[in-house]
Structure 1
Amino acid sequence: MSTLTQEMKDMIATQQCFVGTVDADGYPNVAPKRSTRVLSDNSLIFSEGTGGATYENIKRGSKVSVAVVNRDILDGYRFVGEAILHESGDLYEQSAAMSVKMGMPKPRAVVVINIAEIHTLKPGPTAGKKID
């Protein structure tokens, strides 16, 4: 399992994250997930509100890729890992309450991503390279 640095955590907290999945035929899907945040040093979490392609792909077992970039400083990261859906329980209830408090509807599910790899999205010769 890979570990987030403070720099990565700060970027996730302040920049838009995009979540990538694939369907059963390998067709890619990318969606902005405004609720993406750090759950632990090794995991991310977001609320799945729409129940669309991202949700269906994760239900089917798709691995997940999360990209975040800060265009102002030309830096970014891609986090790759396994996703776990929570449609009930304490974690779901806590995250659902946070979503409602932020003016969003109660989510269909909460998704936890256990990070297996971290790649840099910094421009130049290291772009896309695995860093953890």
Structure 2
Amino acid sequence: MSRASGVLTDAVRQAASRSVLCWLATVDAQGQPNVSPKEVWAIADDRHVVVANIASPVTVRNIAQQPQVCLSFVDVLVQKGFKLTGTARELLPSDADYAGWAASLLAMTGDRIPLRSVLLITVQGVQPIVAPSYWLFPQTTTEAAQIEAARRTYGLGD
């Protein structure tokens, strides 16, 4: 697990760019977990991830009570990704630093999807996510083989 500044390396950025969704896990004051898929999100710099709050009242409430979060994403074809842990806070459009953090998200949504707020995650730890096939069958499991198998399984063309 990485703990230094600059935890969001090029490898993490590349994997994120190939991942359509991420999953943001939070916990409430009583310890009840919640996981919510997020479609509009971006790596903002080498220590921060921004996530659009479009319709996530439970996530926002949980972050206000317990700021610790876990965000995971996986390239479904390659079956590799990353788990990011850290703390989050909500930025409202009225906050002075909102526009800077929201810029990349607004570039994705335009006027099509309204943002209620931005969830700013300060990443403290990064761990790889790798399908078990890679370590169970290292001689025969390659990214190319995983992509081919996933395409067959999901009925995807070339």
The structure-2 alpha-carbon separation of the partners of 1:59 and 1:99, relative to structure 1 and needing over 3 Å to count, comes to: farther
TM-score, scaled relative to structure 2: 0.70
For residues 1-132 of structure 1, the aligned pairs below 5 Å read: 1-2=3-4, 3-15=7-19, 16-87=21-92, 88-94=94-100, 95=102, 97-98=106-107, 100-101=109-110, 103-105=112-114, 107-124=115-132
**Count of residues paired in the alignment:** 125
Contact 2:27 2:66 in 1 (8 A): no
TM-score, scaled relative to structure 1: 0.82
Identical columns (%):
23
- Higher Cα Rg: structure 1 or 2? 2
Q: Counterparts of 2:54 and 2:61 in 1: how far apart (Å)?
A: 12
**CA root-mean-square deviation:** 2.2
Q: Which runs of 4+ in 1 moved over 4 A?
A: none
Q: Counterparts of 1:82 and 1:102 in 2: how far apart (Å)?
A: 29
- Give CA deviations for 1:53-112 in whole Å, capped at 9, x if unaligned: 11110111331100001121121110000102111235423527436516111x221111
Q: Counterparts of 1:59 and 1:99 in 2: how far apart (Å)?
A: 26
Of 95-104 and 21-30, the range deviating more from structure 2: 95-104
Q: Counterparts of 1:85 and 1:34 in 2: how far apart (Å)?
A: 17
**Amino acid in the other structure paired with 2:35:** V
